[in-house]
Amino acid sequence: MGSNFKKYLDSLDMNYVTYPADMDRELLWHDSRSNENICKASIINVDNHYAILLLAESEEINLDHIKALSGADSVRLVSEAEYQQLFPEIEYGVLSLLGTISNIRVYCSRKVFQQPDMYFNMDRDNEIIKIPTDEFTRRTITIVGSFG
């Protein structure tokens, strides 16, 4: 995880722990008690407003569920190229934590929300970050529902 991003989390007094990304999944699941809090994230566009979709690793994206919950006319996934245009300073792998920086709405899976901690794979930096779920949702505009 980039040192600038760690500095940002530190400036928020965010409680987080990092692990090496090559850490055995069995050890991670033992620590987390469930793989439902290992998160995957996507940027979506909901009626021309960007948002983050945060799902458990085991869930599939269902844009119709987001559309129904939000009352939106259109919901679509944002491509990595579009993401890079929107956020050129932030690596694609860090997008799951972007909501804490930019006040982007976060659609969070109920499976993830019900876990005590959230685990994010920071792809390019070979780290996994653990943040208490209540702390993450307190610092973001979070909508909880069934999106998978």
pLDDT tens by residue, 85-109: 877 766 665 555 555 556 678 888 8
Of 47 and 53, more confident: 47
Write down the mean pLDDT value for the chain: 76
Q: What is the four-CA torsion angle of 39, 45, 50, 56, rounded to 10 degrees?
A: -10
Cβ partners under 8 Å of residue 56, min gap 6:
35, 36, 37, 38, 39, 40, 109, 111, 112, 148
Confidence of residue 122 (pLDDT cuts 50, 70, 90): low
For residue 126, what is the DSSP state? Answer: S
For residue 144, what is the DSSP state? Answer: E
To the question of pTM greater than 0.95 for the whole model, the response is no
pLDDT single digits (tens) 125-145 = 567 788 888 888 887 777 887
pLDDT computed for residue 1 by the predictor: 45
Out of 7-16, 45-54, 62-71, 116-125, least confident range = 116-125
pLDDT computed for residue 74 by the predictor: 96
Domains contained in the chain, number:
1
Of 120 and 2, more confident: 120
pLDDT single digits (tens) 54-90 = 888 888 889 998 999 889 999 999 988 888 887 776 6
SS3 state at 27: helix
> Are 75 and 67 in contact, with CB atoms under 8 Å apart?
yes
Confidence of residue 50 (pLDDT cuts 50, 70, 90): confident
Q: Which of 61, 32, 46, 59 is nearest to 128 (CA)?
A: 32
Tell me how far apart the alpha carbons of residues 15 and 112 are, in angstroms, rounded to a whole number: 18
Residue 146 pLDDT > 60: yes
- Return the structure tokens found at 125: 């930096």
Domain containing 80: what range?
3-145
- Return the structure tokens found at 116: 């005590």
Tell me how far apart the alpha carbons of residues 29 and 49 are, in angstroms, rounded to a whole number: 34
Element (H, E) at 7: helix 3-11
CATH number of the structural domain spanning residue 48: 3.90.960.10
